[in-house]
Chain A
Amino acid sequence: MMDGRATLRVPAPSRAPAARPRHASTDLAALGEPYLWTLGGCLALGIAMVAGLLLLVFWNGALTFWPQPIAVLELAGGERLAGVETRGGTYRPRPDVVAALPPTAQAVVAQNRGLVERTLYRTGNFDLYGDDFRWVSSFQIAGIQYPTDMLFVERLEWGVFIGRLRSFQVGAGEPVQAAVSDAAFQAAHAVARARAQSIRAIERHEIGRINNTLERERLGARRVAFDHGEGSGEHQAALARLASLTSRLEQDYAGLAREVERLKAMDAQDRARFADVGGREKEMPLSQIVRLYAANDLNAVQQVAIYLARWWEFVSDEPREANTEGGVWPAIFGTLAMTLLMVVVVAPFGVVTALYLREYAKQGRLVSIVRISVNNLAGVPSIVYGVFGLGFFAYFLGGSIDQLFFPERLPSPTFGTGGLLWSSLTLALLTVPVVIVATEEAIAAVPRSMREGSLACGASKWQTIRHIVLPRAMPGIMTGIILAMARGASEVAPLMLVGVVKLAPELPIDGTFPYLHPERSFMHLGFHIYDVGFQSRNSEAGKPMVFVTTLLLITLITAMTATAIVVRARLSRKFAGSQF
C-alpha cells in the first residue's frame, strides 16, 4: 500500500512566502506556528513509524539466512547440548529453584536481584529429541565451546540436524570415516543429490505425462458417455480406445517404474552416519541432505556463499515440511500471476466506465448516484468482496460453467470452486473504484480548450477522446492502476475465500495442455505469511520465515509498482514532447 501511496501526485505544499515579517507582539497562535509544528511533528512521527517497521522487517528478514555458529554447552548436570543461539531474556526463577542451586550460583542470582539470564537454543534433531528448541538458564551452563567439527545439516525431512559426521558409504562399499570438507564425501553428496533430482524428473515429467494422458482419455470417454449416452456405439469405441491406450501406457509406465526402482535402490545405499553432541547416532541417505556445513569453521566467502544459496533456494524452490522450509516459488508466482491478471481485468473496465461517466453520460442525478456508489464501493470491507466472489463467481458462475462444459468431471468441481481467475476478478472488483476515480480526475483535468480545438478541426467526439483526451490523461490513469495494483497485491482476506490455499504445488501456468489453468487454486505470499506465522507446528521456527516472506512480498510489490511508475514516466515524457 505504502509504495502505491508514495506515487500519488500530491500537490506540493505551497511554500510559505520567504522571510515573512514577524512582530514580537503578534500572538503565536494567530501566526499558526503551533499548528504547523504539530502537523509537521505528526508527519515526522508517521514516517518514523513506517521506516521503523520497514527497518525491522528488513533487518530480521535479511539476517535469517546468515549462517550462525553452533554452541556446544556443557550443562551443570554433565549433559551436553549443541545448538544455535536464537534469542534471550531475563526471568525470575522460583525460590525453590534458586535454593537448590550451589552457593556460588545463588550469590550471582542474589547479586542480580533475583534475575537470571536465559537463552533459547535451536537444538534441531527433532527426530531424536521430540523438540527442537530449548531454553537454558545461565546458571545451568558450565562451559561453552565452539568446536569446528560441529555440522549444521539441512535435511529434506525432519528439519535441521546438528551433530558430527561419523562416516559415509557409497554403494555396497564399507563405511568410510570422513570429514565434511573431504572431496570424496562432497562428490558422493553431489552424486546422490543429482540422482535424487533425476528420480524426481522421471517421476514428475515422464510418469506424469503418462498419468495425464490416461486421465484425459478417461475423462474423454466419460464425456462421450454424456454426449451420446452410456453404452452407445461411440461410447463403446471410446472405451476400447481407452483400454488399448491404457495397456500401452501401462507398459511404458512399468519400464519407467523399473528405472525409478533401480535408482531408488542405489539412492538408499548411499548413506551418511551422523552423531549428535551426546553421541546418539543417526543414519540418513545422502540425498536427503540439502546442505551441510561446519558452522564454526567458515570463512567470510563461504558464509556469503551459503547465505546466497539459501536465498536462491528460498525464491526458486517449492516449500517442504508443511511450508516451514524450502522455498516460496509457487507463492511468488501465484502473487504475480494473480496481480497481473487483476490489472488486465481492472484497467480496461475501470477506464471505460470512467470515460462513459465523464464524457458520454448526461450529468444529472443518476450519474451522481452512480458516482457516489462507486466511491462507497471503495469503503466496503474486503472480506465482503470475498463472500461475494465465492457466492457469485465460484459457486454461481463457476458452477454453471462446470455444468455446461465439464460435466464429465463432476462431482469434483473445475471452475466451481475457488481459483486464480475468480480471485483476480474479486480483487478487480475490489480495486475498480480506485481506477474509476483516478481516471475521472485525469480526464477532467484535460483542458477544455484542447478538446474544443480538436473538435473545431473536424475531429469526431471519439477521435478527440482517442487522440487528445486519453493520451493526456494516461499518466493519471496509470497512477490509478498503480494504486489498484498495490492494493490488490497486498490483500489477503478475500483471497482466503476464493482460491488461495496452503499448498498448491501445481502452478497456474505450466507445460501441460492448455498451459494456462485459471481454474487452479494458487498460493499467495500474503497468505503464506499468515500460514507460516500462525498455523505452522513450530511457531518458533516459523518466525524468521515470516520476516523473510514479508521482506519478499514488500520487494515484489515495490518492483511491480516501480515498473508501472517507469512506464508512466515514459508516457508523460512522450506526451510532453507532443505539446503545442
Chain B
Amino acid sequence: MGRLILPAATTIVCGILALAAANAQQVDPKLASYQTVSGVSGNLKSIGSDTLNNLMTLWAEGFQQRYSNVKIEIEGKGSSTAPPALIAGTAQFGPMSRPMKAAETDQFEKKFGYKPMAVRGAIDALAVFVHKDNPIQCLTLQQVDAVFSKTRKGGVDKDVTNWSQLGLTETFADKPISLYGRNSASGTYGYFKEVALFNGDYKDSVKEQPGSSTVVQGVASDKFAIGYSGIGYKTADVRTVPIAAKAGATCHDASEEATYSGDYPLARLLYIYVNINPNQKIDPLRGEFIKFVYSKQGQAATLKDGYFPITAPIASQDLKELGLAN
C-alpha cells in the first residue's frame, strides 16, 4: 500500500483493514439506516468524474425516491471538471475518482477562504483488463508500467511491446500489445499514472477513450488489448488481470477481499467534493444527500454499480468532520 501516496487514502485503507472481515457483497451492517426528514427540496447539480457517473445517478435516484421534490442533475466528463465547477458554483457536488491536487485545493481556498470537504463515498479497485481469451495469469506493477509507460519509472529496463515479453505463447506469441486508456481529464488516468506508472508518462500509442465503459468495450473487441478501468465496468467479454505490488510478491485479483485488506495494489477511494463553509451549518438538502450516501441504502448502490461499499468507521469519521454526526 506504500503506493498510495496521499495521507487521506492511507488512513482510509487502515480503517478498511480493521473491518476486513465484512461479509462478501454485503454492506457493513453497522452503517446507519437512512431516515427521511421533512423540508428537503431544491436543486442539486453534480459535475465531475465519469467513473462515478453511474453511482451518482443511482444515489440521485435513491434520494429522489425519498424526496420527490429534489432535482438532481448529473454531468460526468472527468474528475478534472469537478474543481472548476465547484469554484464557479455551477455544481454543488464534485465527484472525483482521485483526491484533489494541491493546486486545485489552493484555487478553491483562494476563492472561498476554506478548503473543500471530501466525502469518501465508495471504494474502487482499478482493474487491468484483457480480452477474455487472454490467458495471462499475473502482472507486477513494474510490468504494467513497462507496458503503458514510455518513461518506465518502475525500474524495468526494457520496453514491453508484445505479449511474448509477458510470457504468452500460442496465438499470443509475438502479437503486439494494443493499449487502451482514459483521456487526461479523467481521475482514473491520473490515479493510474501516479500508482501504476510511478508518475511516469503514458506511451503515445495508448488509445485514449472518453469513458470507462469505452475502455472495456475496446478491450472486449480487440483480442490483443490491455486497458485499465474501474472494476465496476467489467463485462463477460473481458478478464481482470491479478496484480502484484512487486516482482516476487503474491498476485491479487481485484476482489472485494483483496481490496479491503489493501493487498490489491490499485485500490482507491472515490470522493465527492463539497463546498462547506466550516463556520456555517450545512443546508439540509446537501446534508441529507451526504447522509444518504453514508447510509446502508446509499452504500447498497455501490454494490449495484460494481464497486465496494465503505465501512462504518469511515462513515462516522467523515460525518463527524462534515458536522453531520447526530
Contacts and interface: CB of A to CB of B under 8 A. Distances in A.
A33 interface: no
Interface string B20-43: 000001000000000010111111
Interface stretch (A90-98, A176-184, A289-297, A560-568): A90-98
Interface string B217-251: 10010000000000011111100000000000000
Given A133-B235, A502-B57, A504-B71, A535 B41 contact: no
Interface stretch (A250-258, A338-346, A424-432, A569-577): A250-258
In the complex, which range does the number of interface residues on chain B fall in? 35 or more
B64 A250 contact: no
B92 interface: yes
Contacts of B232: 537
B304 A504 contact: no
A535 B50 contact: yes
A127 B39 CA distance: 33
A503 interface: yes
B189 to A, nearest CB: 16
B213 interface: yes
Interface in A473-515: 496, 501-506
B64 A534 contact: no
B210 interface: yes
B214 interface: yes
Interface in A494-553: 496, 501-506, 520-521, 534-540, 542
B92 A412 contact: yes
Given A412-B43, A502-B74, A503-B60, A537 B217 contact: no
B236 A120 contact: yes
A63 B68 CA distance: 34
Contacts of A506: 71
A323 B57 contact: yes
Contacts of B132: 135
Given A207-B68, A208-B69, A322-B54, A417 B45 contact: yes
B171 to A, nearest CB: 7
B174 interface: no
A540 B39 contact: no
B157 interface: no
Contact of A214 (B41, B58, B216): B41
Nearest to A260: B36
A502 B76 contact: yes
A320 B60 CA distance: 11
A131 B239 CA distance: 12
A327 to B, nearest CB: 14
B38 A135 contact: no
A504 B57 CA distance: 10
B176 interface: no
Given A207-B69, A323-B57, A412-B89, A126 B39 contact: no
A35 B18 CA distance: 78
B201 interface: no
Contacts of B72: 503, 505
B54 A214 contact: no
B289 interface: no
Contacts of B36: 257
B170 interface: yes
Contacts of A92: 171
B236 A133 contact: yes
B38 A250 contact: yes
B66 to A, nearest CB: 8
B321 interface: no
B109 to A, nearest CB: 16
A503 B211 contact: no
B288 interface: no
A468 B136 CA distance: 77
A158 interface: yes
Contacts of B60: 503
A540 B43 contact: no
Interface in A198-214: 200, 203-204, 207-208, 211-212, 214
A127 B42 CA distance: 32
Nearest to A213: B41
B45 A200 contact: no
B210 A534 contact: yes
Contacts of B205: none
A79 interface: no
Nearest to A414: B43
A157 interface: yes
B237 A540 contact: yes
Contacts of A501: 73-75
A250 B38 CA distance: 8
A413 interface: yes
Given A158-B304, A504-B73, A537 B233 contact: yes
A273 interface: no
A534 B215 CA distance: 9
A215 B42 contact: yes
Given A157-B304, A250-B38, A250-B39, A503 B236 contact: no
B213 A539 contact: yes
Contacts of A456: none
Interface in A19-33: none
A410 B43 CA distance: 12
Given A131-B234, A211-B41, A322-B305, A539 B73 contact: no
Contact of B38 (A95, A257, A504): A257
Interface string B50-68: 1001110110110011111
Given A322-B61, A410-B89, A503 B237 contact: no
Contacts of A250: 38-39
Interface string A213-257: 011000000000000000000000000000000100010011001
Given A253-B38, A503-B57, A542-B213, 17 more contacts: A95-B170, A203-B65, A208-B68, A211-B41, A211-B69, A215-B42, A215-B69, A257-B38, A411-B89, A412-B43, A412-B92, A413-B90, A502-B74, A502-B75, A503-B61, A539-B217, A539-B220
29 contacts: A92-B171, A127-B304, A131-B234, A133-B236, A203-B66, A204-B69, A207-B69, A208-B41, A211-B40, A211-B41, A214-B41, A250-B39, A254-B38, A257-B38, A320-B61, A322-B305, A412-B45, A412-B92, A417-B90, A502-B57, A504-B71, A504-B73, A534-B213, A534-B217, A535-B212, A536-B54, A537-B305, A538-B235, A540-B237
Listed from nearest, the 7 A-B pairs whose CB atoms lie closest are: A211-B41, A411-B89, A133-B236, A211-B69, A204-B68, A322-B57, A322-B54
